[in-house]
Amino acid sequence: MALAHDYVRSNGLDALTMRRLAVAADVTPGALYKHFRDRKDLQRAMSDAIYATIDLSDIDTANPSIDNVKTCCERMRRAMLAFRDGGRIVAGSYAPLSATLNLSATLMTLLHAVTAPEHSPGQLAAVLRSYTTGFVIDEQAYLELSGTDEWDSLVQQIAANGHHRPTEADDLIAILTGDRNRRFDTGLDMILTGLVQASLAPPT
Amino acid sequence: MALAHDYVRSNGLDALTMRRLAVAADVTPGALYKHFRDRKDLQRAMSDAIYATIDLSDIDTANPSIDNVKTCCERMRRAMLAFRDGGRIVAGSYAPLSATLNLSATLMTLLHAVTAPEHSPGQLAAVLRSYTTGFVIDEQAYLELSGTDEWDSLVQQIAANGHHRPTEADDLIAILTGDRNRRFDTGLDMILTGLVQASLAPPT
DNA sequence: ACCTGAACACCGTTCAAGT
DNA sequence: ACCTGAACACCGTTCAAGT
């Protein structure tokens, strides 16, 4: 398992194949199928391994706050970012394994206390997850591209195709190349502010 | 191009290979490389073809409103849902092709008028995109799984592994199996409400 | 319980050569 | 400009057989 992540870290998800993992593990390809049912099962295990790197010990679930929720999401993003293609590995893998469920549980507990009464904590958890994974996938796609000459040609294509409204093309590129930490944070704020306003700042 | 989507519609993205597409197009594998640089280029073209199905003609950009923004996002989701694995096809593909840029542009125009002054419309556009794609990926992953016996075994795993807090396990499943249209909509509301509040309901 | 060897039915991509 | 044929270096998965 650790081997699989080592491999992806240095070679990317698309380069991870059962056969290459087998040689990395000094084993015959067929032997892997005693440990994982198939490639999808391997990816689920990798997904959970990513969640397993998230340290939640300092988060006081007895004392929930919006900041705690944000910290959870930020750590989720950090964890995914720490693995090459981490976003894609996690997205839609539905890994109901221990580390994944663990994060879900603490996030849910925090949200129970913080969510405005008219919304469901589970629903908000889903929104936050969708946002975070979607964000990281885009981010990592950009990271893989930038630096290569493929990125330059993409930028040129955007400029060329968006001839009608040149400002938006620039905007599109600026968003990607800008400070992504801040952008993620602001996005979180955008989502959370609307939700807690009702409970924290009730109409006088 | 249309052929590629037909193929994915009936066989799924993972089953789409250059070779199979070639036989579907009644052509030799090598011939495809005169139309697409590689597999990634093909996926970018497919991504744009998905956006091309979105009809924006009835959206009055001169008269921007929150409802118009929501309509845009809903149609984006609809378009992705209409194609098998549409979310994954679009996610992080950075297709700077005409239909994609077209949607970006109208969304941006609408947001320019509606976004609270302290936030950037481009940033909000990115948040909405992250949310929508993330949502659809999860949704389609569920749709592919549900119905198969794999889904049943996942549900059992969730129940078994989440032994500490059984309620949350149920919650997790309920979220997925519930009314996803409503869930998407509420999520949008959650995001947008916080953002326009400042401009629509200024403190007295 | 875990592994090997060997096989089966595939992949993406390239490239000289044809029209 | 577009296509074929053929090749190269790979894939995931299965399964009898070994230990």
Percentage of residues in chain B having pLDDT higher than 90: 39
pLDDT at B17: 94
Question: Is B181 at the interface with chain A, CB within 8 A?
Answer: no
Q: What pLDDT digit, counting tens, does each position of B167-178 carry?
A: 666 777 778 888
Q: Which of residues 12-51 of B touch strand C (CB under 7 A)?
A: 16-20, 29-30, 32-33, 38-40
Distance, in angstroms, between B196 CA and closest chain A CA?
9
Q: How far apart are the CA of B21 and the nearest CA of chain A, in angstroms?
A: 20
What is the separation of C-alpha A98 from the centre of its chain, rounded to a whole number of angstroms? 18
Q: Are B198 and B117 in contact (CB under 8 A)?
A: yes
- What's the token pair of residue A93? 């893998």
pLDDT tens digits, residue range A118-127?
Answer: 778 888 888 8
Q: Which nucleotide is nearest to B33 (CA to C1')?
A: C13
Within residues 30-69 of protein chain B, the ones with CB less than 7 A from nucleic strand D are 30-31, 34-35
Is there a contact between A158 and B101 if contact means CB atoms under 8 Å apart? yes
Structure confidence at residue A72 as a pLDDT band (50, 70, 90): very high
pLDDT above 70 as % of chain B: 89
Q: What is the mean pLDDT of residues A83-108?
A: 87
- The closest alpha carbon to B95, from B38, B29, B50, B145, belongs to B50
B186 inside 8 A of chain A by CB? yes
- Residue with the bigger pLDDT between A82 and A6: it is A82
Alpha carbon B80 to its chain's center: 5
Binned at pLDDT 50, 70 and 90, residue A189 comes out as: confident
Highest mean pLDDT among A132-136, A195-199, B111-115: A132-136
What pLDDT shows up at residue B202?
37
pLDDT for A203 equals: 38
Instruction: Quote the mean pLDDT of chain B.
Output: 84
Q: In percent, how much of chain A has pLDDT > 70?
A: 89
Question: A117: buried, middle or exposed (CB in 10 Å: 19+, 13-18, 0-12)?
Answer: exposed
In this prediction, residue B201 carries a pLDDT of: 41
Q: pLDDT tens-digit profile of B89-132?
A: 998 788 888 899 889 889 988 988 888 777 788 888 888 998 99
Model confidence at A141, pLDDT cuts 50, 70, 90, reads confident
DSSP assignment of B5-59, as one string?
HHHHHHH-GGG--HHHHHHHTTS-GGGGGGT-SSHHHHHHHHHHHHHHT---TT-
Q: Is A65 helix (H, G, I), strand (E, B) or coil?
A: coil
Greatest mean pLDDT among A136-150, A185-199, B37-51: B37-51
**Which of B202, B201, B152 minimizes the C-alpha distance to B177?**
B152
pLDDT of B135 strictly over 90 = yes
Contact B101 A132 (CB under 8 A): no
Instruction: Considering only CA atoms, name the residue closest to the C1' of nucleotide D6.
Output: B30
Closest CA to B187 of A8, A176, A119, A178: A119
Provide mean pLDDT across the span B41-62. 92
Chain D positions with any atom < 7 A from a protein CB: 1-7, 10-16
The distance of Cα A7 from the centroid of its chain, to the nearest Å, equals 19
| Mean pLDDT computed over B10-37 | 92
Tell me which of A168 and B28 has the higher pLDDT.
B28
Residues A15 and B125: their CA atoms lie apart, in Å, by 32
Please tell me which residue, B196 or B113, carries the higher pLDDT value: B113
- The answer to whether B129 and B91 have CB atoms below 8 angstroms apart is no
Find, among B137, B190, B135, B126, the residue nearest to A121 by Cα: B190
Residue A143 tokens read as 């990271």
Q: How far is the CA of A89 from the C1' of C5 (A)?
A: 32
Instruction: Tell me what pLDDT residue A166 has.
Output: 62
Higher confidence at residue A93 or residue B70? B70
pLDDT greater than 80 at residue A154: no
A142-153 pLDDT per residue, tens: 888 887 777 777
Determine whether the interchain pair A137/B133 forms a contact, defined as Cβ–Cβ distance below 8 Å: yes
**Interface size, chain A vs chain B, as Cβ–Cβ contacts under 8 Å:** 171
CA distance B24 to B16: 10
Test A161 with B98 for CB contact under 8 angstroms.
yes
| pLDDT confidence band for A165 (50 / 70 / 90) | low
Query: Strand (E) positions, chain B?
Result: none
Q: Coil, strand, or helix at residue B117?
A: coil
Q: Tell me, which fold does domain B47-200 have in CATH?
A: Tetracycline Repressor; domain 2 (1.10.357)
Q: Which residue has the higher pLDDT, B140 or A9?
A: B140
pLDDT for res A135: 93
A58 pLDDT band, cuts 50/70/90, is: very high
CB A130 within 8 A of CB B138: yes
Q: How far is B6 from chain A (nearest CA, A)?
A: 23
Q: What is the mean pLDDT of residues A4-14?
A: 82
Question: CA B44, C1' D5: Å apart?
Answer: 29
Question: Which among A133, A131, A143, A137 has a CA at the least distance from the CA of A177?
Answer: A143
| Residues A183, A185: Cα–Cα separation, whole Å | 5
The CB-side HSE value for B94 (13 A sphere, CA atoms) comes to: 25
Q: Rounded mean pLDDT of A160-188?
A: 78
Query: pLDDT band at residue B199, thresholds of 50, 70 and 90?
Result: very low
Residues A133 and A87 sit within 8 Å (Cβ to Cβ)? yes
Structure tokens at B18: 């250059």
